[in-house]
Amino acid sequence: MKTLAAVAVMTLASWSASDAPLIVDEVFEASDSGAFSAAEQARVDTLLDESAAFIARDFPEFADTITVTLVPITRPGVDALGGVTGRAQAPGALVLEVSSTYPGGMGEAIEAGLLRTALHEMHHLVRGWTIENNRYGPGIAIAAANEGLAEVYSEDIAGSSHAYPPLDDATFTAWAQEILALPGNANYGEWMFAHPDGREAIGYRTGAELVRRAMANSGLDIIEMSELSPEEIWTLAGFRWPE
């Protein structure tokens, strides 16, 4: 177990450990896809410190112990997203998966995608958007708003390019209206990942654009937006929440 130290984050020189009692526990697992080297573990340690320090700065009310389990994987599609994917499994528990097939190996995947993915998943912990003990009800509209917040926040901090291409006005409006018309039990995998009609990441892409437009319309920044409900975010973006 390791408590954050300000020296680990040069961009947050004014931050001190006493400002945020946020603790990160790391669990490195081996799999058929490989194992983390000592150097890779050290780099992960530094990047997770940096991620947690940003979260502590931006959401000072969030004080918790975060257990991050890291697993090497071989999975089609992850390399195109920066080589790292993850999930907020439960309050205080993240799983980050690092591609062993990323060009240059897991070390390069860690450099390309770990900071952004860690920030994205830690933002879910702040919101309570977790697989287990979720604070929210079902529905793709809720998922899109929460995923959009995490995506915009992680992009803002990490400075990385969009994980998914932005949407043009017509496509965004059409997809948003589709999502708002869905029943609460709509298939999560189809609407957030791979739709039978060939579209990919409809919920993620719509959600990111939704949050950007809500920010533009309201003048709120991503930290302020993160305090709002999904309904409020959709409303600020110009849509009517379904009755």
| Encoded amino acid at 68, one letter | V
At 64-117, the pLDDT tens digits run 899 999 999 998 889 988 899 999 999 999 999 999 999 999 999 999 999 999
CA distance 118 to 138: 24
Report the mean per-residue pLDDT for the chain: 90
Domain boundaries, the chain: 2-127, 140-236
Evaluate whether 140 touches 203 at the Cβ level (below 8 Å): yes
β 2-3/23-28 pair status: antiparallel
pTM: 0.90
Alpha helices in the chain (DSSP H): 38-58, 106-109, 115-127, 140-158, 169-180, 188-192, 202-218, 222-225, 230-236
pLDDT in the model for residue 77 = 85
Phi-psi region of 233 (alpha: psi -120 to 50; beta: other; left: phi over 0): alpha
Q: Which of 54, 51, 56 is nearest to 70 (CA)?
A: 51
| Encoded amino acid at 12, one letter | L
The two tokens of residue 162 are: 């969009």
pLDDT in the model for residue 14 = 39
Residues of the chain with pLDDT under 50: 1-18
